[in-house]
Amino acid sequence: MVSTKLPDKDAHPTLFEVVTSYMLHGPCGTINPHCPCMVDGVCSKGYLKAFTQHTTNTTNSYPTYRRRDDGHTFER
């Protein structure tokens, strides 16, 4: 099972800190153009991902995970 939702910062502060410190991509893009994922000025991993209501399978065997536009944000 895979969950892509960030842990609640107030209910699980230690887990939130671990996930946001070690398990998220970036920063890359214009903020960090020398990041190893950057190729020809864009992230080769396709970040930022678009908002989507459902997880779907893609043709290259990698899922597109649900990413809710619920107003919750995180800045590294």
pTM for the predicted model, two decimal places: 0.66
Q: Where are the domains of the chain?
A: 27-69
> What number of other Cβ atoms are within 10 A of residue 28's Cβ?
19
**Longest alpha-carbon distance in the chain:** 41
Inform me whether the pLDDT recorded for 1 exceeds 70.
no
Asked if residues 49 and 68 have their Cβ atoms less than 8 Å apart, the reply is no
Give the tens place of pLDDT for each residue, 8-63: 899 999 999 999 999 888 899 999 999 999 999 999 998 888 899 988 888 777 88
Q: State how far the Cα of 40 lies from the Cα of 56, in Å rounded to an integer.
A: 28
